[in-house]
Amino acid sequence: MPQAHMQETGREGVGPERAGSGVRRRVGDWLGEWRGPGIWRRGLVIAVLALVLGLLMLLHSSVPNRVGNLGSLTETFLPWLGLLVPVLLVLALLRRSASALIAVLLPAVAWINLFGGLLTDKSASGGDFTVVSHNVNAENPDPAGTARSLIASGADVIALEELSDASRYERALAGSYRYHSVQGTVGLWSKYPLSDARPVDIRMGWTRALRATVETPRGPVAVYVAHLPSVRVKFNAGFTAGQRDNSAAALGHAIAAEPLKKTILLGDLNGTMNDRSLAPVTSQLRSAQGAAGDGFGFSWPASFPMARIDQIMVRGVDPRSAWTLPETGSDHLPVAARVKL
C-alpha cells in the first residue's frame, strides 16, 4: 500500500510538469514557424489585399466617377475602410506571415494620415455665436418635441431642412426665436434680426435653399441653409448623385458671389467632406466639425450614424467647438457648432 501510494503520488507530480512542457513546446513551435524563408512566402493573398486597401485610401480621389459615381460612394464611407485593418492584422498573425504584417502597415498609416486628427478633441472654450442645423424629416411624428430639443441647445440660430409643414415648427419656436424666414422646404430661426432673406436657386425646380443676413451684435453674418438632393445606391445604376452634384455646383456659385466676409452654411448636403463632388462648396468653406469637433460627428442615420452628411461650414469666423445633439423624431441627428465672430 505505501508503495502504491508513492507511485500514484509520483504520477500526479509528473502531470503539471508534462502540461508545462506541452505549453512550452507549442509556444516554441509557434515561434519556430516565424523563422526561415516560409514567413515571407505565406500570406501573400493577405498582403495583396492589404496593399490594395492602402492604395484605395491613399488614391481614393483617383477612383473614377464615370461608372456609377463609384469614387463618391467610396469617399462617403471612406473612414469605415479602417475596420478592415485589424481584420487583416489578425489574419497576418494567424498565417505567421511577415510579408502580410509589413503590408498591413500601408493601410494603417494611410487611415491615420486621413482620419487620425479626428480622433482627438479639438474643441476650445470661447465663442459668441451658436448655430444648429437639423433635417427634421418630413414624416417626423413629434415636431413640437423636436423643437423643444433644439431650443434647449441655446442656439442663436436654428436651420431646419425637409419642412413639410413649416407652421408646426413656427408655432413651437416662436417663443424663443423672434425672427425667422421659411423658403420652400428650408427655414431659418434667429434670436437676432434677419434681413435680405431670399431663396437660393440650386437647380431643383423648387426651393430647397435660402440665404439671409443675421444682424448680430458683432456685425452682419450671411447664413445659408441648404438641402441638396438625396443620393441613392442602386444595383443597376450605382451611386445616383448627378442631381446633387449639379445643386452643389449652383450652391458653390452662390457662395462665391457672397459679398459678406462672415459666412456660415448650414444644411443637409447629402455628402461628406471627403466627397469630391461637393468641392464647389467645400473648397470655399471650412468644416466646423473638422476644425473644432471631437470625433467623426456622424449624423446619419440617427439610429446608427455612419456618415456626416449634415454640415456646418464657415468662412471668416473661427470655429471653437462642434458636436451632435441627441436624437429627435428625425432620421438625422442635429448638428451644432459654436463660433467666434
Residues paired with residue 292 on neighbouring β-strands, in sequence order: none
User: What is the percentage of the chain residues whose pLDDT exceeds 70?
Assistant: 87
Average pLDDT, the chain: 91
Please, which pLDDT band fits residue 233 given cuts at 50, 70 and 90?
low
Q: What is the pLDDT of residues 108-134, one digit of tens each?
A: 999 999 999 999 999 999 999 999 999
**Residue found by looking up cell 485610401 in the block:** 57
Q: What confidence score (pLDDT) does residue 15 get? A: 59
- Provide mean pLDDT across the span 34-41: 75
* pLDDT at site 8: 47
Provide the pLDDT for residue 170.
97
**What is the arithmetic mean of pLDDT over 237-245?**
71
Torsion sign across C-alpha atoms 242, 244, 246, 252: negative
Q: What is the mean pLDDT of residues 20-47?
A: 73
How far apart CA 297 and CA 129 sit, in angstroms, is 20
pLDDT at position 226 is 98
**Cell 413656427 appears where?**
170
* Model pLDDT, residue 14: 53
Q: Is 274 exposed, middle or buried (0-12, 13-18, 19+ CB in 10 A)?
A: buried
Measured between alpha carbons, how far is 238 from 66 in angstroms, rounded to an integer?
A: 10
- Residue 18 binned pLDDT confidence (cut-offs 50, 70, 90): low
**pLDDT reported for residue 9:** 46
Give me the numbers of helices (H) and strands (E) for the chain, helices first please: 11, 14
pLDDT at 3 over 80: no
d(CA 67, CA 209): 29
pTM here is 0.86
